[in-house]
Every structure is written in C-alpha cells, then in structure tokens.
C-alpha cells in the first residue's frame, strides 16, 4: 500500500512539473509573438537619411552621408568598406615620372599584379596605392583637422559640402553620373600653415546593380576663386566637372 501511495505522489509531482514547464513555454511563445507583431508594425529607421537637396537620387546621397558620418566618428575602416580596389600590373623598374601604378608597385618585378586604388592631390601628382596606403592618407587628413578653427566658409569640422560629376552617364547605365565626386572639406594644420582643404571620394556607377563603389581618393587645396563654387553657388571646375554645392540649411 505504501508503495502505491509513493508512486501516486511521485507521479503527481511529475505532472505538476510538466504542466508548469508547458505553461512557461507557452508564455515565452506569447511574448515572442507579441514582440514579432510589434516589430512588424514598427517603421524601421534608415541607417542614414538622404539629403533633401540631392542631385542624383538617394543612392549617391546615402553613400555620401555614410562616408561623412564614419569620418566624423574617426572610423576610417568603415569608409574602406565602400571602396573597390582594382588589379594593377606592375611595369617593373622605377617610376620615370609622376602617376602610374606607383607607389603601389614600388619594388615589384615586371608583370607582378597588385591591388589598390588611384589617389590624387589637386594640382599636383597622383598615382596608385594599396588600401593600407589609402587608409593612412585619410587618417592623416583627419588627424590634422582643427575643428575649433573658423573661416569664411564656417567652422573647421569635416563636413560634406558638395557633389561633382566629371563623367555623365551614358544611356545604358542605371545611374545619373558615371563618375561622381563626394566632396568634403575641413580646416587642417595650425599656425601660419592652417588652411581649408578638400577630401574627395570618387564613386563610379556601373552597368549592373545600384552600388556606387569608391574607386579613387583625392585631397588638396582650394583656390580663392573656387570658394563660391564649392560652398555656395555650384558651377564648373576643370578637374571636378559640374559641381553641385549643398545648401547646408536643408540638412
């Protein structure tokens, strides 16, 4: 008799434990379902809002603002994710002049392949360098910024100021500009050497897809007569093409 009693007591306890576990599972499922419904009805916030004054549609402006925000956070690695390197076949020997696949191909034997990007400095030389070289170029620019400085344009912080189009798209391309310049500017240096400079990311639109990879990076000086075009009115500059100045009040 005692054995039967113990058996029924144990069986009852097991049933209660099982029912409690099923209730907890059902409760978790209800909570998960409620959360899923809430997520389904919520409006997701875009990672980067587009500009209200955007010359070529959201794709180019989201890219530009993504670059701006990453650089303002000193996150150069995030900007490198937007870049598309290409293969260069090294000619061997030493460079005979400015440009070409150097310094990327420094020390490489003839017909060696190396990947990198073009870079340039306005009104000066350019060439190609590795992704690490591009990282260093951009980081040096950021490290030299004096955010507290001021000039006729504004404060010294890095900011997106303009777009440019040096190569309009042809009929079969699905973008408005085949080579688009994303133009940022900041005040760099200190003392007598302090000046406002540009940091430009060139993005290329292709025949397939909607991506706009960055294929070239420039930095460099601003001539006095270029200030109104770059920061106020827009216009045409020989090396940048058609410039579209962003109305900062619309941001």
DSSP 4-73: HHHHHHHHHHHHHHHHHHHHHHHHHHHHHHHHHHHHHHS-PPPSSPPPSS-TT-HHHHHHHHHHHHHHHT
pTM: 0.77
Taking only the tens place, the pLDDT of each residue in 30-87 is 444 444 333 333 333 334 445 666 666 667 888 899 999 999 999 999 999 999 999 9
Which pLDDT score is estimated for 211? 56
Q: Does domain 58-250 have CATH number 3.40.190.10?
A: no
Burial group, residue 133, by CB count within 10 angstroms (0-12, 13-18, 19+): middle
First vs last Cα of the chain: how many Å apart? 84
Taking only the tens place, the pLDDT of each residue in 100-145 is 899 999 999 999 999 999 999 999 889 999 999 999 999 999 999 9
Burial group, residue 209, by CB count within 10 angstroms (0-12, 13-18, 19+): exposed
Contacts of 196 (CB under 8 A, 6+ apart): 151, 153, 156, 185, 186, 187, 188, 222
Taking only the tens place, the pLDDT of each residue in 148-204 is 999 999 999 999 999 999 988 776 665 678 899 999 999 999 988 899 999 999 998
Are 164 and 157 a contacting pair, CB within 8 Å?
no
Token pair for 144: 């030299």
With 70 as the cut, is the pLDDT of residue 249 above it?
yes
Which pLDDT score is estimated for 51? 66
Are 240 and 179 a contacting pair, CB within 8 Å?
no
């Amino acid at each position: 008799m005692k054995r039967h009693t113990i058996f029924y007591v144990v069986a009852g306890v097991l049933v209660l434990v099982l029912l409690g576990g099923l209730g907890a599972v059902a409760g978790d499922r209800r909570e998960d379902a409620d959360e899923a419904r809430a997520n389904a009805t919520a409006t997701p916030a875009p990672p980067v809002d587009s500009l209200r004054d955007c010359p070529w549609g959201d794709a180019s402006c989201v890219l530009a603002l993504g670059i701006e925000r990453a650089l303002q956070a000193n996150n150069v690695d995030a900007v490198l994710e937007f870049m598309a390197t290409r293969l260069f076949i090294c000619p061997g020997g030493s460079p005979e002049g400015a440009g070409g696949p150097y310094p990327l191909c420094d020390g490489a034997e003839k017909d060696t392949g190396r990947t990198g990007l073009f870079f340039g400095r306005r009104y000066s030389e350019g060439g190609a360098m590795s992704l690490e070289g591009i990282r260093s170029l951009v980081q040096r620019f950021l490290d030299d910024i004096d955010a507290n400085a001021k000039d006729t344009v504004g404060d010294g912080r890095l900011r997106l100021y303009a777009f440019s189009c040096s190569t309009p798209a042809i009929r079969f391309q699905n973008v408005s500009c085949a080579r688009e310049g994303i133009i940022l500017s900041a005040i760099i240096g200190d003392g007598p050497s302090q000046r406002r400079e540009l940091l430009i990311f060139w993005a290329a639109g292709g025949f397939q897809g909607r991506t706009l990879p960055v294929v070239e990076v420039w930095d460099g000086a601003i001539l006095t007569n270029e200030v109104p075009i770059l920061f106020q009115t827009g216009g045409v500059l020989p090396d940048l093409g058609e410039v579209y100045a962003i109305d900062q009040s619309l941001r």
